[in-house]
Structure 1
Amino acid sequence: MLEEITIENLGVIGRAQIPFGRGLTVVTGETGAGKTMLLTGLSLLMGGKADQGRVRAGAERATVEGRVLVDAGSAVAERVTEAGGELDDDGSLVIVRTVASQGRSRSHLGGRSVPVGVLAELADDLVTVHGQSDQLRLRAPSQQRATVDAVAGPDHLALLGRYREAWQRHVELDAQIAELVERRAEREREAAALRTALAEVERVAPQPGEDQELDAVIARLGHVEELRGHTALAHAALTGDELGVDDAPTAAALVEEARRELEAAARVDPGLEPFVVRAAEIGYLVAEVGADVSGYAHGLAADPASLESAHARRAELGTLARAHGTDVDGVLAWASEAGLRLLDLDSGDERVAGLQAESERLGALLDDLAAQITRNRSDAGAAMAQAVTAELAGLAMAGAELEVTVEPAEPAVHGRDAVTILLRPHPGAPPTPLGKGASGGELSRVMLAVEVVLAQAAQRAGAAPATFVFDEVDAGVGGRAALEVGARLAALARTAQVVVVTHLAQVAAYADHHLVVTKSSDAAGDVVTQSDVRVVVDEERVAELARMLSGQDGSDAALTHAAELLELGAQARISAA
């Protein structure tokens, strides 16, 4: 239940605190006094779009704070906890929304900053808002279908959700099948090209790192004489063996001489013994390197045939590398991926068959779900027509009948039905769609009747919101019809909190609580302040109803009529209780 809203710097409202009670609360006031800002503030609390242009001129930000009473353990309370917020000790939830004149809006839920989307998630469980624009929406076929679906109840909505999921998957499958079939020739060309390329790779049979090994072989075979010269000098410098260059001291001889000198010194100072050992090790290493260099030198031989073969192999590998990678390892990686791609291409027909089988299965499921949805809509449409017709009789439209037709239509994401709500305004008149034949006043009453039926259906399912807000839902209604609208709103308020913004005294007379919004004029311009939103009772309430009836203050006739309306409303509330 909505307990109160505090608004600062929103439109014409400087600061106002609006209290709400149980039952029916009406909000009245002169045109332009700021009543609409109440709905704007409520929309912001429920996650509506923030409009910087709504921030009062000269203010940095507009702030709306709402206090809502929620049940512990309810879905709303659980979502608040998930978002990190908390309920107050009395079970009330504080929601705050700020809109900066320059910058982003901010949202707080239960003392915790949250994305505005979280507020929108809670909206359907907290408040249902209907305004004059809903009359226009009720003209739309999609809205009429959604209304019948809502009357059908949560099980039907869950069934509709399953249908939508199956429909989306079916659409995706058909698109995949169409693409596979359409691209069959292209896939075959791609597969043929891959087979040719993979066959060439298989023929060449490159080995990992083979190109680098060939580069080394080519470098060695192409510089045999140069390598011989260098290795001969190196060997002579190390050991001075049969490669014999001159009689210069060799590394082996010098190391051996050093070892002997260290060995002689170690006889005097045993501490030099480790040096002797290390010198001996160096000698062994010099001898070993010399032997290896000698072996390498003796293995060098000019081999034009091997060099030519290595060049040919390297060229073959280079051709593959240029086609499929930067080197042999890149070619092998490409071949691995290409093999997988070829398997995928070759399995195209099998995939088509598998997708077609799944599509047929989903098609059968959609047929079954659509048939159930149609039955549900037909039953709900008939029940809704009967219930709304009964409501219209109590809204000064006796003899009017509502009809709901459910006819076959092209399959779509919402089912296979065209749902149309028709109104027969009086016996003998042909039924016409709401979007064509109903007047504004008739649409107002039809919408109210539909809303009552929806509320009753939601209450039966245990899913009714705690609060209904109507913004001038009585537009275009007057006389006895206005009295009946007031009586019906009061009846709805027996099981839910109802807030109505109205210009009709006949409606306001049925309220349990009456709020009046006025607007002061000062040096800062027109503004609604804290003192300009007040609860009126007794004589003040009679005076406000009289103003609404006559458009002026102090009319004796209007005052008498207002008192009669209040008496009528009080009697209706007593008899309803």
Structure 2
Amino acid sequence: MIEEIRIENLGVIGRAQVELRPGLTVLTGETGAGKTMVLTALNLLLGGKADPATVRVGSAAAAVEGRVLLGAGGAALGRATEAGAGLDDDGSLVLLRTVGASTDGAAGRSRAYVGGRSVPQGVLAELADELVTVHGQADQARLRSPAVQREALDEFVGPAHREVLARYRAAWAERARVDAELSDLVDKARDRTREAELLRLGLAEVERVDPQPEEDVTLAEEVDRLSHAEDLRTAAAGAHTALVGDEDSVDEGSAAVGAIELARRLLEHEGTHDPALAALATRVAEAGYLLADVSTDLAAYLEDLQADPLRLDAAQRRRAELATLTRSYGSTVAEVLAWADTAGRRLLDLDGGDERIAELREARGRLDDELTSLAEQLTDGRRGGAERLSGVVSEELSGLAMGGAELRVSVERADEPGPHGADRVEMLLVPHAGAPARPLGKGASGGELSRVMLAIEVALATAPGATRPGTFVFDEVDAGVGGRAAIEVGRRLSALAQGSQVLVVTHLAQVAAFADHHLVVTKSTADGVDVVTESDVRLVTRDERVRELARMLSGQEDSDAARTHAAELLELSSVGR
């Protein structure tokens, strides 16, 4: 339930506070007084689109704050808690919406808050779905839509039916996904076959060549060594001679090893007289050991090094084989092996395409069977509900000064199943006895649509298992209605308010007379500018209420005849205060 709304700098409203209570509350006032801005404020709190043009001229921003009372354990409470909102001690929740004015041609920003926590605008809309049902003249036009008529019937049938509908819609979405994947696989079957064949050819070539990890690097080194075998031999032999000398050498100091050995002996001989010289002798000895090792390794290298034209030719041919792979599948053998691994896995996926197609076709068949079964359940539920809804709404219309009128709800088989079932739902109105039934979208007047919409809303709110929000807002639901019909509209709104909070914006005294609470928006002028201040949205009772009803009846609130008529209306409504 909405407890109050505070408005600042919205349209003609400078500052206003609207307190709402259980039961039927009507909001009246002269044209231009600000009734529309009150509804605009409510729309902002309910997550509606923010329009910077509605910010009061001269103000930087507009703000709307509302306090709502949440039921324990309800979906709205759960969503608010999920958003991190904090509740007041009395269990109420504060909603806040701000709208910045346009500056330099740029639209001002809109911000939303729930329980002191900044939230996306969509959170307000989600809460609104659980808290409030809003009906305006646009909703009367929407009632002409077959989709809206079907939604109303589904709501009326009950929660078990809506559960079947949810299962049907989920299965429909899954079938669409399966069908899309299946179509994609079938349409691309030729491309998959071509890709698989290319992968097989590539993998066969890689398997034939059988490259080994790092083989290209090893072969490059081997070819380079074999190609320069004589140069390597000459360099190694020269180095060996320089280190140890040759067989014809008679001077042991002419080679590096011999020279080092001579130096060591000289230093060691005299090193006994000076530790520093002895240390140098040790270092020279270490150098001698190193050179001796190197000379030994050079000798072994020379012994192993052989010119092998046959091996060189084989290595070059192997490199050429590897080059054919690296030209096609990677710049190195490592990349070729990585490609082969990826290609193998991809080939498994492609070869499994036929199996996947079979799986998808089987899944689609199961989903088709499930959809057929669920669609039949939906049809049965709708047809049974259509008969009941027709009876309830027709009875309501009789009480709304449409005696002899009848609403017929038709449920026919659609040409093709859709996301909501296999039915075509249509509401037809018989406006009076003997008249032909005509679709609401074609034959109903504005006044008739107003009363049909109200009758349907009452039927939905009172249906077994109804999940309608506890607050209803009607914006000129009495459009196109007058006389006795207006009195009956007021009576029905009053009856609806026995179990709900109902807010009605009306211009008809016959409707306003049935209110439990009557709010009036009046216009005052300051410095030539129309403004509405906090005192201008007020609760009227007794004589003030009679005067307001008189104004609505005749435009002359002080007319004795109008006041007498107003008093009669209050007495007739049995809610006079």
Instruction: Give the TM bin, normalised by the shorter chain.
Output: over 0.9
Comparing 39-48 and 228-237, the one that deviates more = 228-237
Cα deviation, residue 159, structure 1:
1.5
In 2 relative to 1, CA 474–251 (structure 1 residues): closer, same or farther, beyond 3 Å? farther
Q: Which residue of 2 aligns with 1:553?
A: 557
**Deviation digits for residues 513-534 of structure 1 (CA, Å, limit 9, x no counterpart):** 1111122222362222222111
Q: Which residue of 1 aligns with 2:45?
A: 45
Contact 1:135/1:444 (<8 A) preserved: yes
Contact 1:236/1:243 (<8 A) preserved: no
Comparing 408-417 and 299-308, the one that deviates more = 299-308
Q: Match for 1:289 among 284, 294, 298?
A: 294
In 2 relative to 1, CA 553–325 (structure 1 residues): closer, same or farther, beyond 3 Å? same
Comparing 117-126 and 506-515, the one that deviates more = 117-126
Instruction: Indicate the SS of the match to 1:534.
Output: strand
Comparing 359-368 and 81-90, the one that deviates more = 81-90
Q: Which residue of 1 aligns with 2:123?
A: 118
Instruction: Indicate the SS of the match to 1:9.
Output: strand
Q: Which residue of 2 aligns with 1:100?
A: 100
Q: Name the amino acid aligned to 1:70.
A: L
Cα deviation, residue 355, structure 1:
1.0
Report 1:168-567 matches (<5 A): 168-240=173-245, 252-253=257-258, 256=261, 282-409=287-414, 410-457=416-463, 460-461=464-465, 463-523=467-527, 525-567=529-571
Q: Which residue of 1 aligns with 2:104?
A: none
Structural RMSD (CA): 2.5
**Deviation digits for residues 300-339 of structure 1 (CA, Å, limit 9, x no counterpart):** 3333333333222222212211211221111111111212
Cα deviation, residue 240, structure 1:
4.0
In the alignment, the residues of structure 1 paired with residue 531 and residue 481 of structure 2 have an alpha-carbon distance, to the nearest angstrom, of 30
- Flag structure 1 segments of 5+ consecutive residues without an equivalent: none
In the alignment, the residues of structure 1 paired with residue 528 and residue 234 of structure 2 have an alpha-carbon distance, to the nearest angstrom, of 104
In 2 relative to 1, CA 511–225 (structure 1 residues): closer, same or farther, beyond 3 Å? same
**Deviation digits for residues 455-489 of structure 1 (CA, Å, limit 9, x no counterpart):** 112xx426331211111111111000000000000
Report 1:23-62 matches (<5 A): 23-62=23-62
Contact 1:236/1:244 (<8 A) preserved: no
Q: Which residue of 1 aligns with 2:6?
A: 6
Q: Which residue of 2 aligns with 1:18?
A: 18
**Deviation digits for residues 244-300 of structure 1 (CA, Å, limit 9, x no counterpart):** 899876554465456556756775678998887776555433322332233223333
In the alignment, the residues of structure 1 paired with residue 76 and residue 405 of structure 2 have an alpha-carbon distance, to the nearest angstrom, of 39
Contact 2:226/2:312 (<8 A) preserved: yes
In 2 relative to 1, CA 12–258 (structure 1 residues): closer, same or farther, beyond 3 Å? farther
Instruction: Indicate the SS of the match to 1:95.
Output: strand
Q: Match for 1:159 among 158, 164, 173?
A: 164
Q: Sequence identity of aligned pairs in percent? A: 60
Contact 2:253/2:262 (<8 A) preserved: no
In the alignment, the residues of structure 2 paired with residue 247 and residue 258 of structure 1 have an alpha-carbon distance, to the nearest angstrom, of 12
**TM-score relative to the length of structure 1:** 0.93
Q: Name the amino acid aligned to 2:6.
A: T
Comparing 553-562 and 492-501, the one that deviates more = 553-562
Q: Name the amino acid aligned to 2:401.
A: A
In 2 relative to 1, CA 287–420 (structure 1 residues): closer, same or farther, beyond 3 Å? same
Contact 2:28/2:521 (<8 A) preserved: yes
In the alignment, the residues of structure 2 paired with residue 358 and residue 189 of structure 1 have an alpha-carbon distance, to the nearest angstrom, of 27
Q: Name the amino acid aligned to 1:485.
A: V
In 2 relative to 1, CA 268–519 (structure 1 residues): closer, same or farther, beyond 3 Å? farther
Cα deviation, residue 363, structure 1:
0.8
Comparing 326-335 and 224-233, the one that deviates more = 224-233
In the alignment, the residues of structure 1 paired with residue 535 and residue 430 of structure 2 have an alpha-carbon distance, to the nearest angstrom, of 48
In the alignment, the residues of structure 1 paired with residue 258 and residue 563 of structure 2 have an alpha-carbon distance, to the nearest angstrom, of 135
Cα deviation, residue 391, structure 1:
0.7
In the alignment, the residues of structure 2 paired with residue 25 and residue 358 of structure 1 have an alpha-carbon distance, to the nearest angstrom, of 55
In 2 relative to 1, CA 15–210 (structure 1 residues): closer, same or farther, beyond 3 Å? same
In the alignment, the residues of structure 1 paired with residue 36 and residue 423 of structure 2 have an alpha-carbon distance, to the nearest angstrom, of 37
